[in-house]
Amino acid sequence: MAKKEAPINALEHYLPPGTFQPVLDYLQQYKVHLTVARERKSILGDYRHRTPAQNHRISVNGNLNPYSFLITLLHELAHLLTFEQWGNRVQAHGKEWKASFGQLLDQFIRHGVFPDDINAALLRSLHNPAASSCADEVLLRVLKNYDEKEEGVMLVEAVAEGVLFQTSDGRVFRKGPRVRKRFKCEEVATKRLYLFSPVYEVKLHPLSP
């Protein structure tokens, strides 16, 4: 299975120092069923609201660095708080969710949880947060500074145009021109075109110069 239930004491391992108790308070207050997921390329976390048969459910990718893990968990908790107040009557990432997420982030920012560079990136978007930290390029760049570095991994923007690179699933692409905020790249095997975020992580193909 892609997910596993996280023993509550083990949660501290995934979080920045000093954040376990306030996070635990939220999880216990709202009876959240938390799972830690293996890496998912399309999402960092997920929320499912409570039903008559189940409690609120949140999953967060376990491969995230502690700051990314906390921000993602707060993102999902903001969905929970929005649901508690508004049910399904508002947009998933509308003004109500943005207000909840901003308030949660502010609590941790004021307690000095984040390093200065992450603080600055969060404060920049505090009143209008993106629907995902993946969608906030400035924040994503800063958070990547705290990832464990894998040999040979680089950002798409660092690959020269025309050079081959491969993604984590082994697919091979040729780097193309920038189109607005993304790079148009051709998959070698299918000749199909895909748009890549400049901060998407890839490796150079062995046949690349």
54-73 pLDDT, tens digit each: 999 999 999 999 999 999 99
Task: Sketch the domain layout of the chain as residue ranges.
Answer: 3-144, 153-204
153-204 is classed in which CATH architecture? Roll (2.30)
| Cα–Cα distance for residue pair 74/79, rounded to 1 Å | 9
| Cα–Cα distance for residue pair 120/199, rounded to 1 Å | 19
pTM over cut 0.85: no
- The answer on pLDDT for 158 being more than 70 is yes
Confidence of residue 39 (pLDDT cuts 50, 70, 90): confident
**DSSP codes joined into one string, 81-120:** HHHHHHTTSS-TTSHHHHHHHHHHHHHHHHTT-S-HHHHH
